[in-house]
Amino acid sequence: MFIEPRMEKKMGHRSGWIEVICGSMFSGKTEELIRRLNRAAIAKQQVEIFKPSTDVRYHEEDIVSHNRQRIPSTPVDKARDILELAGVCEVVGIDEAQFFDADLPAVVNQLANDGKRVILAGLDMDSQGRPFGPMPTLMALAEYVTKVHAICIQCGEVAHYSYRKVPNEEQVLLGEKDSYEARCRACFLAES
């Protein structure tokens, strides 16, 4: 279980940092993001949450996890938009980070340099098993990386691949449970 670092004031200004929560589909990434953001809110910290406007799965403005937890969020078109919209908040949550453009690592670095705690959740690999978008860079820049795992639908082992049941050449395919399943390495290799 991830234990939050203390937000201490050092020499008159707060020191920020970056946390990445990554894993396959059905691994509980968004649940873990929501858990951390809820705890920050309980600690009376001001929280702002963003997601890419391409992610319109269930609801226009809320982050919704598979177990239907819900938290209000702001959809943004470009990573740079977050710099302006984050304002004076102390904690910035970003969901579906893999869908953002290549500016996201520089943006979250800036937010952390400005004293904010930044928590990102995203798919570390696409359905071909390739590192996804800005995620590898974000994982390198982060102080804390948590990789969460799903359970393989085929055999019950720990899974870290998002296997696409419906053939599609595009890296980004929205609208999930019907199209994907979590698979372990052996079961992923068996059919790809």
Catalytic site residues? Answer: 96
Applying CB under 5 A, among 137, 154, 176, 179 the residue interacting with Zn ion is: 154
Residues 65-94 within binding reach of Zn ion (CB under 5 A): none
In the complex, what is the shortest distance from the CB of residue 190 to Zn ion, in angstroms, rounded to a whole number? 8
Interior/surface letters 140-176, b for 16+ CB within 10 angstroms, e for the rest:
ebbeebbebbbebbbeeeebbbbbbeeeeeeebeeee
Nearer to Zn ion, 4 or 157 (CB): 157
Applying CB under 5 A, among 155, 174, 189, 190 the residue interacting with Zn ion is: 155
Nearer to Zn ion, 140 or 186 (CB): 186
Residues 172-191 within binding reach of Zn ion (CB under 5 A): 184, 187
CA distance 15 to 159: 35
By CB under 5 A, is residue 150 in contact with Zn ion? no
What's the half-sphere exposure (Cβ side, CA atoms, 13 Å) at 45?
23
End-to-end CA distance of the chain: 33
Applying CB under 5 A, among 31, 62, 81, 157 the residue interacting with Zn ion is: 157
Beta strands 74-76 and 47-52, pairing class:
parallel
Residues 3-22 within binding reach of Zn ion (CB under 5 A): none
By CB under 5 A, is residue 152 in contact with Zn ion? yes
In the complex, what is the shortest distance from the CB of residue 101 to Zn ion, in angstroms, rounded to a whole number? 34
Please choose, from the candidates 134, 135, 173, 178, the residue with its C-alpha nearest in 3D space to the C-alpha of residue 153: 178
In the complex, what is the shortest distance from the CB of residue 8 to Zn ion, in angstroms, rounded to a whole number? 44
Nearer to Zn ion, 111 or 184 (CB): 184
Q: For the chain, give percent helix, strand, coil, nearest 5.
A: 25, 30, 45
Nearer to Zn ion, 155 or 174 (CB): 155
Give CA torsion, residues 122, 18, 64, 61, to 10 deg: -110
Residue numbers at the binding site for Zn ion (CB under 5 A): 152, 154-155, 157, 184, 187
